[in-house]
Amino acid sequence: MSKKLNLLVFSGDYDKALAALILANGASELDMEVTIFCAFWGLLMVREENKFQAKHKSFFEKMFSMFTPNSAEKLALSRMNMCGVGKGMLKKMMKDKEKPMLKDFLDGARRKGVKFYGCKLSVEVMGFKKEDFIPELEIIEVYQYLKDASESDIQLFI
């Protein structure tokens, strides 16, 4: 019987998203079932690049969509971001050491069948639409997430 990992990603920070996706890929390679529930800022990790949808959005929803990162690689660091310089340094160090980028980990998780869930309330409040996200993202109610988490062997909050 395989184990199950459940990640609740609440942060929209590059380094925290990176940690979540490294864990998801590693667990998947250990034949664990992996689910990632993205709430509020965590939804920014699974936005589809350059998929800004202005149709049927209020003024505030349009502004919010325009001023938040529109892909995982555009997220800022949680510490030492320094207007993007810190993130650039981190990415350069990763490249120099031949380590994958955040997008690579996201693509790997998608290929490995990691299940991505988006919090319905967060999606609605933030003015996003299903089309704003990667196709694998399923929008679910908190009750569905709680059921999934309660059936998991490991639950982590990032």
Give 56-80 pLDDT, tens digit per residue: 788 888 887 778 888 898 998 998 8
Tokens describing residue 4 = 């199950």
18-56 pLDDT, tens digit per residue, is 999 999 999 999 999 999 999 999 999 999 987 767 777
| CA triple 23-28-30, angle to 5 deg | 100
pLDDT the model gives residue 55: 72
| pLDDT tens per residue, range 143-157 | 999 999 999 999 999
Q: Which helix (H) or strand (E) holds 33?
A: strand 33-38
Say which DSSP state 68 is in: S
User: First vs last Cα of the chain: how many Å apart?
Assistant: 26
The pLDDT assigned to 1 comes to: 57
Q: Is 151 helix (H, G, I), strand (E, B) or coil?
A: coil
Q: Tally the C-alpha atoms within 13 A of residue 85's C-alpha that lie toward its C-beta.
A: 3
Taking only the tens place, the pLDDT of each residue in 80-117 is: 888 889 889 999 999 999 999 999 999 999 999 999 99
